[in-house]
Every structure is written in C-alpha cells, then in structure tokens.
C-alpha cells in the first residue's frame, strides 16, 4: 500500500501498510547482534547456581569451606547472606487478598522446588564455578511435597509457606449478568471439566545477565535481556539499597521472551548482589536445564464448567470453578495467579451470554513459579471454545451454527458482561470467511467418505478476541515516547518498549518516518536502556506495542514535525501550513527546488546565530514528548481452522491444513503480523501435541532436557495460510496487536479437530495435552 499525500506537512512515499524489510534483521542475521553472552568486561567473573535436588526440604546446614579452597573461586553466597544483606522483594501488581512472603535471591530456611537456588558461586570461569558447586555440602531434611491440586487444597497437608495457614494464595469470585435466572430457565445444562497442563516458554536465548558495580562511582549497571527494564531497575535498587538514580538496566538484543522475561527473577537479585559485594562485574548465563527446571512455567489450570443452553443452540449463561497452580514463589512484579481475574472477565468472549460466574482459587505448590506466557489468560478461550463444541455435539448441531447463533453484534450495541465494549469485533466475519476458504461443506462430505474407508479425519475451528490491548487500553499506564532530531538531521525515537523479536525497530520507524516525511533509514529506535528511555512499569508485553507504542510515537513525531515546520517557516520566510516534508526535505508545497534539509533546521535549533534576539522555539533542541492511552481500544479478532488426520496405529496427528482469518485493524507491516501469527500457531501445535513440564505427584521434575520436553520442529508445524480482514477504522490509531492471538486460539482449533476425528470412538477431550499415547487411549486402541 503506497500513497503520496500533498497535505501540509506530510509527504514522500508511505511505508505503513507495506512489508518493509525489518531493520533488525541485517544486524541479527549477519551475526552482529549483541546479546548478553557477547558482553565481556575487564576483570569479569562468572557465576553458577547450586540448586536443590528436592522439591521440599528444610536446610539444616550449608558448608562452603571446601568450595572456597578451590583455586579460582572468588566468593560464595547463600540465603543467609541474602537475608542479612538484601531486602526481600514482593509483587507490585496483585489482586486484593493475594497472600505471599517476600522473595529473596536464594532459599533461606528451606527449599520449595526442585531447582530452587541455594547458593551462588562466583569464580574466574564458569567451569570453576560449576566445579565448586559440587564441593558445597548441604544437609537437608526432606519434607512432604505438594505436587497436585488435591494436595494443595488439603488443609491437613504440608504448607509451602509455613507463615500462612494454607496453600491457598488467593480466592476470587466474579459474577456478571443474569446467572441464576438463566440456569433456571435453561432447557439443558451441559457440564465438562477442562485442564491445561504446565508448559515452558523456551525462548532461544535463556535468561542471563552481567551485573557491574563500580565501587569508585557507586554506579550499578545490570546488562540483561528483560521485557521490563524500569521495573527491574526499581527492584534491584530496592533489594541492594543502591540509590535509584545510580542504578541502570541495559538491554541488548534479546533472543525471545514470550512473557518469561517480564519478571524480576531471584537469580537477577542474587547475581546483582554478588557484583555489589565483590565490586567486580559478574556474568551468569542460564543453561537449558536450568531454564526448563527453574526459570518459570505457565498454564496449569483446571476448570469445572457448566453451560445453560436451549435446544436451538442458544447459550444463556456459563458458570464454573477454577483452580490455578502458581508454583512455589509468586512472580514479581506481576503475580501469575492474578490472571484468574482476567480469565473470568474474558470468558464470555465475543458471545452474547446473559450471565457468567466464576469462583477461582490460586494455590501454591512445590513447582516452578507460574509466569506469563504468550496469552496468559488462554484458559478462558480454550475452555469456552471447547465447551461450544461440546454443546454442539450434545444438541446434534453444527459447531459453526452454535457460534453463529450466539455471536454478539459488533456495532457497539452489545458489551461484554464485564462492561467492556465489543465494538468492531469482527468474529462473525472471520468465521464465515475461514469456512469459505477451508471449503467446510466439501470437507464434511469428504470426511464421511474417508471414515467409510477407515480413515480418522477431523475438522475443528475456534474463534477469539484478543485484547490488543483492548478497551480501556492504558489502564492508567499510558505509553510514552520521545522524538528528537539530532544535529545531523537523523530522527531518534526513544520508546518504553523492550522488544525481544517482535520487530519494533521496524514498525515504530515506519510510523515515525511516515509522520515526519523522511526515509525509514533516517530513523533510529532506541529502547531498553533506563538511562535514556521514558519510564514504564511494563515494557513489552500484553500486546501493547501496536496500539500504545505506535500511537505514542505517532503523536511525538507529529509534535516534533510541527516544531520543525515552525522553525523552517521562519528560515524560509513562509507560513508553516504552506510547507511539506518529502524525503527529508522541507519545502513549500509544489516548489521542491526551494528547500531545507533537516540537518540545516537542526543546526539552527541547536546553535542559533548570535544576532537572533528571540528563539523561534521555546526549547533549544528539536525534541518532543507524547503519551498515548490507547484511545477506544477495540479488539483483534479471528478464527482458526484446522483439518487433521490421525494414524490409529501410532497415535500421530498430522495437520493437513491450517487456516487463519484475522482482523488486527490497520496493519503497520503485514510481514511482521504474519510472523507473529505463525509463531503463535507453532507454539500452539507444540502445546497440544508435544510440550509438557511434567512433575510426578511428589513434585519431582521429569522434563529437564529436550529429550523429555519435546518441541515441534519444522517437520511438525504445518503450512499456515493467513488472510486479513480490515474494517473501516473508528479512530486514527487503528493498529491492533497480534502477539498473542496465534497461541491463544490454536490449541482450541487443534483439540476441536482431534475430538471431531475421534468422535466415532466416543472420545471426549478434557485435557489439552494430547501426545500419541493419549490419542490411542481416547480411540480405545490401548
């Protein structure tokens, strides 16, 4: 999509809406990316963590004397050091009534999961540090562990935190609309229990950091790869007692995060404390076993759900109970268990239910911390879209017909039961289009013929809305940005975002270059350094960037452009409204031969002639700031369509075709959008068919390597065909996020297809994890 505007102040070729090449890719694909492990400093030491082999045990004693004698070991710190010399950190964002204890960098009195960090060893090399870990002698008293929901809810069982009277960290009830009345009037009540299993985020680059305290200046810098630099900075300052103004967090390139790196981790605190106490830079890079074991895990919810329905397919209401396993320690600053409120709020989705109610519990267990993962509220979408298919089967109706019957209008006349507008949700359109593209009616006919031949084939689809970031987008957390013309005429944009693979250096540059009328190559996006970027509790996360960051950059660039035109008008003796910026040149409309460059205007702004008595601009530099709250904040929406065939000899599921029809408003960069969608779908394939962070009933971890924690490869991820819908914009910033929608809905589409394939065998899919053995069990083969 290319256009040329001759409106005052705007010109040159537009890049928004085009698949502009990603600015980051040349650096990253040619090996010039700069990640945490690339950093080296004079005198840098290396750290390794000694971790608990037990899920739950009291620490009776720790003897580090033999380890300290190993040549090359510089220091060893334990939980006792953390308790005496640091301040515990606590969640900043948690629901009312959430209970927790302060979190320290290392276990103090007892360990609460396999992989709990007990000591940090700092040495001249990682090899020496690892060897020293094996020389530390710890005497444990093993305790009974909590490994299941039933154990966590048993009041007579052991307590993960002995200062609390139970393992229930939070209880919450949400009720909207006419729940009891709807169930009283219903012609049928359908019940089902659904369970999501535990998974890991598995970014290509694990966690890590280089902590660097300079005793001479008192300045502390932590080089890492975090989604929330300013939040991490605050927690480091608090834990160590370093003044906030002398604390700095710096990101380089980040090799993926998927929500895991939005938290401040205990290893961050311990690593920074080691550097602070030793006065030297210290590096730690997480290995893959540590990542799978102790970095963070997601999902693991169980929902008992019932629906009040009429026999024509009308869904009057739903209600249920849910329990979520938060693991041993709460995530900081955003409590993972706090997602239960969002799950309840979002559960009705794009449907016009009369009522919905959910009672939720968050329990502690002796497992890894529950942390954010792409679409952390995904339980609501999976359970709802599964339940709609269950209802269709109970009533002998087509699942498409049940969805059509219950979709809410998208004209603003209907709101979600929780009060949020459903304006511009295009779910009904995406469903009809995906059924058309998938040739649904033809596939149903072919399915009957295939079953007659003994083949096991199924068709599934599911529909979602994604708060991207959704109505009331800012929620008091407006996105800020700074735009500045440098003395050489280049445009610098400083954003609160902390991109970790999404392509923000490209998309935000497209926004700024279009608004300023300059080539995209003349724009540089700065992010991830707390010394330069505006403050934000959240950096990158929650699909905020497409709407909030883009809107902020648009407005800061627009304000800056007005300053540029005002100063250029004075220099050209023209009216600002008569000037245009095209390809970086400022000239009167229709007179390109009379022009100024941005560098010439910048020279005037930064170094005005001595005989100028009054500056044209109030500020001596060409800088503008803006904040954006998300505006109306409507939804991204879509429907995914999955066609599968199952080999009943092996239990293998082959995805024959996967279709996506989505609407994310106006696309800034279609290639980036499609990359996000395909990546999310690939993770959804993994979540259903391959991945499981498995524990036994005593919370022993069983999936510490990629031999046990399986990931889909290019051979297992199908071709993903995508079509985009785009309705008329209802506001200027009509960009919607797509970072979570792919993973949000793919498990529902895939499991619906698998249940459809297995329906002749009476299979009911209640658990999301469907490896070959489970498939054969459902098909009654084993």
If the chain, 782 residues long, is cut into consecutive pieces of 10 residues, what is the mean pLDDT of each piece? 32 84 94 97 98 98 98 98 96 87 95 98 98 98 98 97 94 96 98 98 98 97 98 98 98 97 97 98 98 97 98 98 97 89 93 97 97 95 98 98 95 84 89 98 97 97 89 66 96 97 96 97 97 94 91 97 95 95 95 94 79 53 92 88 98 98 96 97 98 98 98 96 90 91 97 98 97 97 81
349 token code pair: 């989705």
Question: So what's the pLDDT on residue 609?
Answer: 53
Contacts of 309 (CB under 8 A, 6+ apart): 186, 187, 188, 189, 190, 315, 316, 391, 394, 395
48 token code pair: 């390794």
Question: So what's the pLDDT on residue 607?
Answer: 78
Question: So what's the pLDDT on residue 11?
Answer: 44
- Angstrom distance (rounded) from CA 543 to CA 548: 9
Q: Are 340 and 324 in contact (CB under 8 A)?
A: yes
DSSP for 106-132? S--SEE-STT-EEEEEEESSHHHHHHH
Work out whether strand 491-495 and strand 523-526 pair parallel, antiparallel, or are unpaired. Answer: parallel
Q: Encode burial over 656-667: b for 16+ CB neighbours within 10 A, e otherwise.
A: ebbbbbbbbbbb
Work out whether strand 585-588 and strand 247-251 pair parallel, antiparallel, or are unpaired. Answer: unpaired
Which domains occur in the chain, in start order? 25-33+476-628 (3.30.365.10), 36-146+220-276 (3.90.1170.50), 407-472+634-782 (3.30.365.10)
What pTM was computed for the model? 0.95
- Judged by phi (left if over 0) then psi (alpha if -120 to 50, else beta), residue 198 lies in beta
């Amino acid at each position: 999509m290319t256009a040329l505007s001759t409106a005052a102040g705007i010109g040159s070729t537009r890049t928004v809406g085009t698949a502009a090449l990603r600015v980051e890719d040349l650096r990253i694909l040619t090996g010039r990316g700069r990640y945490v492990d690339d950093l080296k400093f004079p005198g840098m030491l290396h750290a390794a963590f000694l971790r608990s082999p037990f899920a739950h045990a009291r620490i009776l004693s720790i003897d580090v004397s033999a380890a300290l004698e190993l040549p090359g070991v510089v220091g060893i710190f334990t939980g006792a050091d953390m308790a005496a010399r640091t301040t515990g950190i606590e969640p900043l964002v948690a629901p009312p009534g959430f209970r927790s204890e302060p979190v320290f960098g290392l276990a103090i009195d007892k360990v609460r999961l396999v992989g709990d960090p007990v000591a940090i060893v700092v040495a001249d090399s990682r090899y020496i540090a690892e060897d020293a870990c094996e020389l530390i002698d710890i005497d444990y008293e093993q305790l009974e562990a909590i490994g299941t929901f039933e154990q966590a809810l048993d009041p007579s069982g052991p307590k993960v935190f002995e200062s609390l009277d139970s393992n229930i960290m939070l209880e919450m009830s949400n009720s909207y609309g006419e729940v009891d009345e709807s169930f009283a009037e219903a012609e049928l009540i359908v019940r089902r229990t659904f369970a999501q299993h535990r998974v890991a985020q598995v970014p290509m680059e694990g966690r890590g950091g280089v902590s660097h305290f300079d005793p001479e200046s008192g300045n502390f810098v932590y080089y890492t790869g975090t989604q929330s630099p300013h939040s991490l900075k605050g927690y480091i300052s608090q834990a160590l007692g370093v003044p906030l103004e002398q604390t700095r967090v710096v990101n380089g390139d980040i090799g993926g995060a998927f929500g895991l790196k939005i938290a401040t981790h205990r290893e961050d605190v311990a690593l920074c404390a080691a550097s602070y106490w030793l006065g030297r830079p210290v590096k730690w890079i997480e290995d893959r076993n540590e990542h799978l074991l102790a970095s963070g895990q997601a999902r693991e919810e169980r929902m008992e759900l019932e629906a009040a329905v009429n026999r024509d397919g009308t869904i009057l209401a739903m209600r249920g109970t849910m329990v979520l396993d938060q693991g041993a320690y709460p995530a900081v600053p955003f409590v993972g268990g706090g997602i239960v409120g969002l799950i309840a709020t979002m559960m009705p989705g794009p449907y016009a239910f009369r009522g919905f109610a959910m009672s939720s519990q968050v329990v502690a267990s002796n497992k890894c911390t529950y942390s954010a993962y792409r679409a952390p509220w995904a339980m609501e979408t999976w359970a709802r879209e599964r339940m709609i298919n269950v209802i269709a089967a109970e009533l002998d109706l087509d699942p498409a017909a049940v969805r059509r019957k219950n979709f809410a209008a998208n004209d603003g006349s209907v709101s979600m039961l929780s009060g949020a507008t459903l304006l511009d949700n295009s779910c009904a359109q995406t469903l009809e289009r995906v059924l058309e593209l998938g040739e649904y009616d033809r596939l149903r006919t072919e399915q009957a013929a295939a079953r007659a031949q003994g083949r096991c084939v199924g068709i599934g689809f599911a529909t979602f809305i994604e708060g991207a970031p959704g109505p009331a987008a800012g929620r008091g957390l407006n996105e800020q940005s700074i735009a500045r013309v440098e003395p050489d005429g280049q445009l610098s944009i400083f954003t609160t975002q902390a991109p970790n693979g999404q392509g923000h250096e490209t998309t935000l540059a497209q926004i700024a270059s279009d608004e300023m009328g300059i080539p995209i190559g003349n724009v540089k996006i700065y992010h991830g350094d707390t010394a330069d970027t505006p403050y934000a509790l959240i950096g990158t996360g929650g699909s905020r960037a497409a709407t909030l960051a883009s809107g902020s950059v648009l407005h800061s660039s627009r304000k800056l452009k007005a300053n540029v035109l005002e100063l250029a008008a004075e220099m050209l003796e023209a009216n600002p409204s008569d000037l245009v910026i095209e390809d970086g040149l400022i000239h009167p409309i229709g007179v390109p031969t009379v022009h100024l460059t941005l560098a010439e205007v910048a020279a005037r702004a930064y170094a005005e002639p001595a005989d100028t008595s009054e500056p044209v601009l109030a500020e001596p530099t060409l800088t503008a700031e803006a904040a954006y709250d998300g505006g109306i904040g409507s939804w991204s929406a879509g429907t995914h369509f999955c066609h599968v065939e199952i080999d009943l000899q092996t239990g293998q599921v082959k995805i024959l075709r996967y279709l996506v029809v989505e609407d994310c408003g106006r696309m800034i960069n279609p290639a980036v959008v499609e990359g996000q969608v395909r990546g999310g779908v690939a993770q959804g394939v993994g979540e259903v068919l391959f991945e499981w962070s498995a524990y036994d009933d005593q919370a022993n971890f069983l999936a510490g390597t990629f031999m046990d924690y399986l990931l889909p490869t290019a051979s297992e991820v199908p071709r993903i065909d995508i079509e985009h819908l785009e309705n008329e914009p209802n506001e200027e910033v009509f960009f919607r996020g797509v970072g979570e929608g792919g993973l949000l809905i793919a498990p529902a589409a895939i499991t619906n297809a698998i249940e459809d394939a297995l329906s002749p065998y009476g299979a009911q899919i209640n658990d999301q994890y469907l490896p070959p053995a489970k498939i054969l069990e459902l098909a009654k083969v084993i």
